[in-house]
Amino acid sequence: MSKYVKQLITDGVKNRLEGVQYLMLVSLTGVDANANKNIRANLAGKGINLMVIKNSLANRASEGTPLAAAFKGLTGSNAICWGASDIVALAKELVNLTKNKDLKGFEIKGAVLDGEAFNAAQAIEVSKWLTREEQIAVIVGQIVSIGAKLSGQIISVGGAVASQIAKVAEKSDNNPDAANTESQPS
């Protein structure tokens, strides 16, 4: 292959990976063509891209990017996956695929997040983290609980003041002379 063609392919891969901050490496070795098609369709339906890539091409295409750490010392046949709402959602989807008994040969080989490479075990551990949506839900719950506590405290103080006013009003209704004497200056 000529250098010109290699550069065109490298540029094409660079363009596809532009803006990607995380990805996971997987192996499709031993996965038959029909299963491969099903994997790709399943992942594409969830906004996840899968691309089989030559290691040297991946190295050239990712030079100077946070993704470069994933391809250092990489051997064997590899595919890269990126997309989903965050790396945790991506990891969860890929871990679910590794659990499928019909997909023998599909395995997670690693990941990269913000320039830091993860080995296979660490990449699988990422799937146990909270996704972006789950983290937002936790934060919103914490904010709402503080607001609920604050409103409860305000209401309880307001209730106590209202109760005292009601008692004073009740006393003045029962003893009209006391109300008149209290309001007169001494």
Lowest mean pLDDT among 17-31, 95-109, 129-143, 161-175: 161-175
Residue 152: pLDDT band (50, 70, 90) is: confident
Domain 3-129: top CATH class: alpha beta
Write out pLDDT tens, residues 83-94: 988 999 999 999
Query: Residue 184 above 80 pLDDT?
Result: no
Q: Average the pLDDT over 7-31 and give the result.
A: 92
CA distance 85 to 67: 17
| Domains in the chain: boundaries | 3-129, 135-183
CA distance 26 to 53: 11
Distances (CA, A) of 136 to 17, 21, 72, 132: 27, 20, 34, 6
pTM of the model: 0.71
CA distance 97 to 111: 16
CA distance 83 to 20: 8
